[in-house]
Amino acid sequence: MLKLPGLIDPHVHLREPGATHKEDFDSGTSAALAGGFTIVLTMPNTKPPIFDSETLDLALTAASKKARCDYAQFVGAGPNNADKAASIADKAAGLKMYLDSTFGELRLDDMSLWQAHFEKYPKNYPIVAHSESRSMAAAILFAAIYDRPVHIAHISLKEEVLVIKAAKEHGIKVTCEVCPHHLFLTKDDIPDISHGNAGRDEVRPRLATKEDVDALWTNLNVIDCFATDHAPHTIEEKDSDNPPPGFPGLETALPLLLNAVSESRLTISDLIEKMYTNPKKIFNLPDQPETWVEVDENSVYEIKAVDQFTRCNWTPFEGWKVKGKVCKVVLRGVTAFEDGKILVEKGFGRNVRG
Ligand code: NCD
Ligand code: ZN
């Protein structure tokens, strides 16, 4: 039995408020505990999006009643909320900026709209950018201009990891995360994920080439964090004519990464650095006393959607055999998960910015 610290997932979509048929703070934080995570940082692209004090309260009220692990909620950067977002920074996980995708009220068409946020958001809290390829380079330029940290969400391409490496060597305050699905899947896996249903493989950023995936593994030392980008959509939605992008990931990340440790593709200390030490530092998170995760490094089992707590009812890793199982999670002195069962009530989770 191996003991790890309570892990931190800095990129999770829990769909509350607005789409609780996909996930809510109850099902999502249960999935987090089952996956070995004791803190999740939740994304603001909900309905309504979280972008000011009132909408932040909506999410935090739901979380305080329903979360079973600890959490903090991101506030989203919109075209008109730079002052409002900055004024609630100490209550939020950080500021999330969507620099290429469109998200209703969180749409930022013009770089002058980015400037207000970079000028105003306090430097001791992170700005996280969803920015792919060349917009990622623009986000890094903003980190340099405003001399403040920027965390790049879910990198997936060789060109991205190489530009981040160069920016870090230049002393620019940029950090980044990679998702397990971009480390363990390529475009070539799409037929296996789809099972004849074209929408299941839809995810942003898209699955990349083997050359991209190999470059992420080769440059693992450039990558600060592993993050799931847990983005649950129901299997019916994924198999519909208009499939939304996103993969669930909370319950598969640690088993997949432990399996990679068993294959000597990374070490336990890499895993602790990228799932605890670095996210704790980058997101300025508090200690969780008497908190740990027990894993059985030698337990071999098959990943199955039916065993998961997420409400979305599917996984792109269905049927994968992994070596490494989460056995027990102790959170603030209380056994929160053991032998496949959640043992803490709704509302046990605390806001780490509370
Ligand atoms: C995200 C979601 O479903 O909220 N989906 C995804 O594929 N990562 C939104 C997004 O980042 O595009
Ligand atoms: Zn996301």
CATH number at residue 289: 3.20.20.140
- Give the pLDDT confidence score for residue 41 in this predicted structure: 98
Give the mutation target among 16, 45, 96, 135 for probing the ligand 1 site: most ligand atoms within 8 A of CB: 45
Q: Residue 247: nearest ligand to its CA?
A: 1
The answer to the question of residue 353 being in a domain is no
* Structural domain includes residue 354: no
136 found inside a domain: yes
Residue 173 lies in a domain: yes
Counted domains in the chain: 1
DSSP 305: G
Cα 293 to ligand 2 centre (Å): 25
Q: Cβ(175)–Cβ(149) under 8 Å?
A: yes
Which residue, judged by its Cα, is nearest atom 6 of ligand 1?
Answer: 246
Mean pLDDT of 18-42: 98
Query: In this predicted structure, which of 7-16, 34-43, 190-199, 249-258 has the lowest mean pLDDT?
Result: 190-199
pLDDT of 100 reads 84
Q: What integer pLDDT is reported at residue 252 of this predicted model?
A: 98
Residue nearest to atom 11 of ligand 1 (CA): 204
Residue 196 falls inside a structural domain? yes
Can you give the residue range of the structural domain that contains 12?
2-342
Q: Which residues pair with 130 in a beta bridge?
A: 98
Ligand 1, residue 232: give the atom nearest the CA: 3
Measured CA to CA, the distance from residue 34 to residue 63 in angstroms comes to 18
Ligand 1 nearest atom to the CA of residue 202, by list position: 7
**103 pLDDT exceeds 70?**
no
The protein residues having their C-beta less than 5 angstroms from ligand 2 (an ion) are 229
- The residues, ordered by sequence, that sit 6+ positions from 90 with a Cβ below 8 Å of its Cβ are 122, 125, 353
Q: Which residue's alpha carbon is at the smallest distance from atom 2 of ligand 1? A: 231
Closest residue by Cα to atom 4, ligand 1, is: 231
The SS3 assignment for 203 reads coil
For residue 181, give the ligand nearest its CA: 1
Answering whether pTM is above 0.95, one says yes
Core vs surface per residue 91-124: b (16+ CB within 10 A) or e = bbbbbbbbbbbebebbebeeeebbebbbebbeee
Domain assignment of residue 164, yes or no: yes
Q: Which amino acid residue places its CA nearest to atom 12 of ligand 1?
A: 204
Supply 161's token pair.
Answer: 């990891």
* Continuous H helices in 200-344: 210-218, 235-238, 253-262, 268-272, 278-282
Under a CB-based contact definition with an 8 Å cutoff, are residues 156 and 212 in contact?
yes
The ligand whose atoms approach the alpha carbon of 14 most closely is 1
Whether residue 349 is contained in a domain is answered as no
Domain presence at residue 165: yes
For ligand 1, the distance from its centroid to the CA atom of residue 311, given in whole angstroms, is 16
Q: Which residues line ligand 1 (CB under 6 A)?
A: 13, 45, 101, 130, 203-204, 229, 231, 244-246
Question: pLDDT tens, 253-282?
Answer: 999 999 999 999 999 999 999 999 999 999
- Expressed in percent and rounded to 5, the helix, strand and coil fractions of the chain are 35, 20, 45
**245 CA distance to ligand 1 centroid (A)?**
6
Determine the atom of ligand 1 nearest the C-alpha atom of 98.
11
Question: In this predicted structure, what is the pLDDT of residue 344?
Answer: 98
The string of pLDDT tens digits covering residues 36-90 is: 999 999 999 999 999 999 999 999 999 999 999 999 999 999 999 999 999 999 9
CA of 300 to the centre of ligand 1 (A): 30
Pick from 14-18, 84-88, 189-193: least confident? 189-193
